[in-house]
Amino acid sequence: MNTVPSASPVAVGVFDSGVGGLSVLRALRRRLPGAALVYVADSRYAPYGERDDAYVIERSRVICDFLLQQGAQVLVMACNTATAAAAAWLRQAHPDVPIVGVEPGVKPAVLRSARRRIGVLATSGTLASAKFQALLETVRHQAEIHLQPCPGLAHAIEQGDPQAPEVMGLVQRYCAPLRDAGVDTVVLGCTHYPFVVDAIRQALGPEVSLIDTADAVARHTATQVLNKASALQPGVVSAGAVAAYTSGDAARLEAITARWLDFPVRVAPLP
């Protein structure tokens, strides 16, 4: 894997409605080992997938402002719902800041699928968004696509135990229609879902390929970092360090980062 040199001085701000964006943070750490990373889990207001656009835009604005105050020079919206609802607004509000969003990997799924039968696991908000529907239109004629909303799954994963009975039950429930439809490729359309990838793979069967876009987001962010490289602005994070803030329970986020990530993260409440 190609990485940005460890001396990279750029600070990258990352946020999600909760802990799901840690899957993107993990990929960013591998791709940008020398960058300062600042993460916000907006867990008090999670999941965004069950909120309206105006609400998501307002929360994204508040968090974006906070990350910029911490010295972030590149922003990553590690949330499909936030990207769909707020990315255009944030880019207009901050035209000089590179803003990287995420979207379900439908296009790479079409390229990978042998039978052209694709499933998409995502929140109801993501699937209903105009941005996703526009994406779907670009590939609809190329494959048979089965959309599976997963109400409650992101919230259940948010509790911190990906192997909890509630999580396992929801995974089985939402994967069953895709398995019955005979899909051979499934898109993980929420950044929470990679943390239950083993359960999803077991529910779908070993012959089904899974598409997670976290590394693609990290690669794109690395390009933005190389283009943006400049001296770190004064902030709370030094080069190579990782800090995480949450609007929810800081102790819970600290426990989750220790369990899910293989690098140290300093956790604090979101002011």
Binding residues: 16-17, 48-49, 80-81, 191-192
Tokens of 226: 């190389």
Count of other CB atoms within 10 angstroms of residue 209: 18
Question: Does the active-site annotation cover 64?
Answer: no
In angstroms, the CA 132 to CA 158 distance is 23
Cα atoms in the 13 Å half-sphere on the side-chain side of 73: 21
SS3 assignment, position 264: coil
Please give the annotated binding residues for substrate, written as ranges. Answer: 16-17, 48-49, 80-81, 191-192
- Torsion, Cα 191 29 72 131, to 10 degrees, reads -30
Phi then psi for residue 32, to 5 deg, are -130, 65
Selecting among 64, 150, 175, 190, the annotated active-site residue is 190
Which position among 64, 79, 150, 175 bears the catalytic label? 79
Handedness of CA 156, 121, 244, 265 (dihedral sign): positive
Query: Are the beta carbons of 101 and 95 closer than 8 angstroms?
Result: no
Is 190 labeled as catalytic in the residue annotation? yes
User: Catalytic site residues?
Assistant: 79, 190
